[in-house]
Amino acid sequence: MNQRTLLITLTGPDRPGVTSRLFAVLAGFPVAVADVEQVVIRGRLTLGVLVAYTGDTPTGTGGTLGALWTAVERTAEDLGLEVELSTGSDTKEKRRRGRLHVTVLGAPLHPAAMAGISGRIAASGANIDRIERLSSYPVTCIELAVSGADPDALRAELAVEAHAQQVDVAVQRTGLYRRAKRLIVMDVDSTLIQAEVIELLAAHAGCLDEVARVTEEAMRGELDFAESLRRRVALLEGLPEEIFEKVRKEIVLTPGARTLVRTLKRLDYRFAIVSGGFTQLTDGLVRDLGIDYSAANTLEVVDGVLTGRVIGEIVDRAGKARALERFAREAGIPLSQTVAIGDGANDLDMIAAAGLGIAFNAKPVVRQAADAAVSVPYLDSILYLLGISRAEVEAADAEDGLPATDR
């Protein structure tokens, strides 16, 4: 026999017991629950229940379709809610091609941005199935569940709109692919922390301007990283070893860094850092944040003085990608379940190798290559790309007796 569907939508002021009352009514009829969605915004409820039944009407113990409608309408009236009912003849819910999550971040997020993004989605022939807010401050993050789209084509379309509207937009496949990422590998300088460590050292050596110029060339991809590192380190020759302790005190974490690491560690993620900087300083971050894996360069020190040379193999662009692969092997995690986060050209290889590559306040060449880009100055905004809401983070922190945020 033909299977049909019936959509019941209740709207109005929210109150305890609405959902249970509706399902208690439906329990008296021979219908099956096919789908449920409920949203409450500032105390106003929208509850949609899709039920399936066989035949022209859900006859049986509970009576006819008219009897069901009457029962639901009376319940809605008693609860002070409005009700709508619509029927369909589809034998089953159609599965649409390309189920995706589209994440939009703005500070602030203007209506024009949402109009442009939703317009591009519609123009691509896709449909927005659900919209959910993941955060309201200090960044507004809205997540849209989209079906019927090709991910690569939609990502390209939305990248253009994101640039025009000055917001960040990420497009990811839905389902286990998104939830399974279990290793985060992050650049350090200008990503985990707010400075370039070599420039902090250079300030003490009196060569900051020259070092900063070479650093910028390397970050733009105009200069080989290994060569740029050697040139900059050579300028540090003669600095006393005690300088490391002074620079450690000058390091400032990027806002949201502790929240990001704490939250992902709570969810049993593994966390790693890779740096073109130096172990003499990254080792302190490992201890302070409880990081699982790290890779960085080591400055040579002889008789308590920096020699202006680096010891061993340089951690450069290719070295960062190799480190990501090594960390994944040690953790027993496939590359498809890794996330790489960086800002400069020497992060490109690891961003390409990871299951999800994120450009964080990055140079244009990195933004273009990454799967997603974040331009707001809060590192924990990356949690939203993984489907973790701010409310969930704050609730977990409260349960552990921790501050809601480290900003």
Convert the pLDDT of each residue in 6-41 to its tens digit. 899 999 999 999 999 999 999 989 889 988 888 887
Residue 407 lies in a domain: no
* Residue 114 placed within a domain: yes
Predicted confidence (pLDDT) at residue 181 exceeds the cutoff of 80 = no
CATH number for the domain harbouring residue 159: 3.30.70.260
Residues 38 and 164 in one domain: no
189 is catalytic: yes
405 domain residue, yes or no: no
- Domain membership of residue 363 (yes or no) is yes
187 is catalytic: yes
The alpha carbons of the chain give a radius of gyration, in whole angstroms, of: 27
Q: Which domain holds residue 144?
A: 100-178
The verdict on 141 and 249 lying in the same domain is no
**Residue that terminates a domain, selected from 178, 204, 219:** 178
Asked if 288 and 211 sit in the same domain, the reply is: yes
Domain stop point among 127, 155, 178: 178
Inform me whether the pLDDT recorded for 209 exceeds 50.
Answer: yes
Confirm whether 379 is domain-assigned.
yes
Residue 82 domain-assigned (yes or no): yes
Distance between first and last Cα of the chain = 60
Report whether 375 contacts 363 (CB < 8 A). no
151 with 74, same domain? no
Q: Please check whether residues 228 and 374 belong to one and the same domain.
A: yes
**Count of the separate structural domains present in the chain:** 3
Question: Tens of pLDDT along 334-344?
Answer: 998 999 999 99
122-146 tens-digit pLDDT: 999 999 988 889 999 899 999 999 9
Query: Do 242 and 259 fall into the same domain?
Result: yes
Identify the CA nearest to 297 among candidates 233, 350, 243, 351. Answer: 233
Cα(269)–Cα(251) distance, rounded to whole angstroms?
Answer: 25
Question: What is d(CA 227, CA 77) in angstroms, rounded to the nearest whole number?
Answer: 75
Residue 405's pLDDT band, with cuts at 50, 70 and 90, is very low
pLDDT of 289 reads: 96
On the question of pLDDT at 190 being above 70, the answer is yes
Query: Do residues 114 and 170 share a domain?
Result: yes
Q: What is the pLDDT of residues 215-264, one digit of tens each?
A: 888 777 788 888 899 999 999 999 999 999 999 999 999 999 999 999 99
Residue 291 lies in a domain: yes
Same domain membership, residue 147 and residue 190: no
Residues 16 and 162 in one domain: no
pLDDT tens, 79-115? 999 998 887 755 444 444 458 999 999 999 999 999 9
**What pLDDT is recorded for position 92?**
42
Instruction: Identify the active-site residue in 14, 187, 316, 343.
Output: 187
**Final residue before a domain boundary, out of 117, 146, 178:** 178
Q: 160 with 279, same domain?
A: no
Question: Looking at the domain assignment, is residue 349 inside a domain?
Answer: yes
Beta-carbon contacts of 97 under 8 Å, excluding residues fewer than 6 positions away, are 147, 148, 149, 150
Shared domain for 159 and 193, answered yes or no, is: no
Q: What is the pLDDT at residue 225?
A: 85
The CA-atom distances, in angstroms, between 43 and each of 39, 111, 273 are: 10, 22, 43
Query: How is residue 35 written in tokens?
Result: 């789908």
| HEC readout, 272-287 | EEEEEEEHHHHHHHHH
* CATH code of 202's domain: 3.40.50.1000
For residues 207 and 349, membership in a common domain is answered with yes
d(CA 172, CA 202): 41
CA distance 399 to 407: 19
Q: How far apart are CA 78 and CA 71, in angstroms?
A: 11
Task: Give the pLDDT confidence score for residue 387 in this predicted structure.
Answer: 87
pLDDT above 90 covers what percent of the chain? 66
**Candidates 14, 168, 189, 316; catalytic one:** 189
